[in-house]
Amino acid sequence: MALGLGLAVAPGSARAEVLPEGLEEVLRDVASENLRRLRRAVAFGPHVGASGHYIEGPNRPDAGLSLGLGVYLFRVPFTFELDKTIRERVRGEIKAEVRRLADEGKTPSKDELKALVRRLYEGARDELLGKEKRIDQTLEDPRFGFVVEGQRMFRSEAWQLRVMPSVGIGPVSLGIGGALHLGDKASFLPGAELSMRLLPEEGPRSKVIELFLRGEVPVVNRTEVGLHLGAGARLLFDVL
């Protein structure tokens, strides 16, 4: 009899009277935490950048400034299954407690069972929510990135329009893209970029500092345009 009463008020039961309020509070906490994490996992907005270059063909250094738009996705874990975890944990603890009371020859009243469920439910909720709270990292693992930019090359007196999609590989990102080079001689420069993205601010929204190394090879006018090797940084302002 006691076991039947215990299961009747366990999480997920149609007869439960004490769980909806607690469950609603947990779901609000979980939704709020997931929204914060989702917001931190996405950065979109304008960016400015500066870079230094060595151009092999003309054999000279150069420098550039860039403006553009970018979107970055990061691997921030979510907690969508937290309410299910709490339900399963409390159900097991209720069964064990009711069996213990039955072995001792005790038959708890319905109010006592409700109080037991509430106590176990709140304890599991507080413990698991506490474990799921995370410290924001300066170096969140990247998932994906897409950058469009226009860059002015000063010594070359040229403009470059660049598109650079990228994927995360551990803590770094690898991009494969290219740039349209418009100067005395026009060319297309396919290339690759290795970068690291830093989030210097805590909370759901942060600027993104991207440090990168880049190499690009001209398809036409190779001698005049030259192989481009560069390093620099972008600063993206998250406005989403």
Model confidence pLDDT, tens digit, residues 164-204: 999 999 999 999 999 999 988 999 999 999 999 999 999 88
CA distance 230 to 48: 16
pLDDT (mean) for 206-212: 97
Instruction: Specify the pLDDT at position 10.
Output: 43
For residue 63, pLDDT beyond 90: yes
pLDDT score of 83: 62
**Confidence band (pLDDT; 50, 70, 90) for 237?**
very high
Reported as a single tens digit per residue, the pLDDT across 66-89 is: 999 999 999 987 766 666 666 777
**Percentage with pLDDT > 90 across the chain:** 50
Q: Compare 123 and 214 and report the one with higher pLDDT.
A: 214
Long-range contacts formed by 45-48: CB under 8 A, 24+ apart: 45/69, 45/70, 45/236, 45/237, 45/238, 45/239, 45/240, 46/70, 46/236, 46/237, 46/239, 47/147, 47/149, 47/208, 47/210, 47/234, 47/235, 47/236, 47/237, 48/234, 48/235
- The domains located in the chain, with CATH, are 2-34+78-132 (no CATH), 42-76+137-236 (2.40.160)
Query: Residue 127's CB: how many other CB atoms inside 10 A?
Result: 12
Helices (H) and strands (E) in the chain, counts: 5, 8
Q: What is the DSSP string of 51-115?
A: EEEEETTTTEEEEEEEEEEEEEEE-----TTHHHHHHHHHHHHHHHHHHHHHHTT----HHHHHH
Nearest to 126 by CA among 24, 29, 38, 9: 29
More confident residue, 18 or 221: 221
Verdict on whether the full-model pTM lies above 0.85: no
Q: Is the pLDDT of residue 238 over 80?
A: yes
Average pLDDT along the chain:
83
Asked if 118 and 22 touch (Cβ cutoff 8 Å), the reply is: yes
3 state SS for 118-134 = HHHHHHHHHHHHHHHCC
Share of the chain above pLDDT 70, in %: 81
**213: which residues sit within 8 A by CB, 6+ positions away?**
193, 194, 195, 230, 231
- Predicted confidence at residue 114, as pLDDT, reads 75
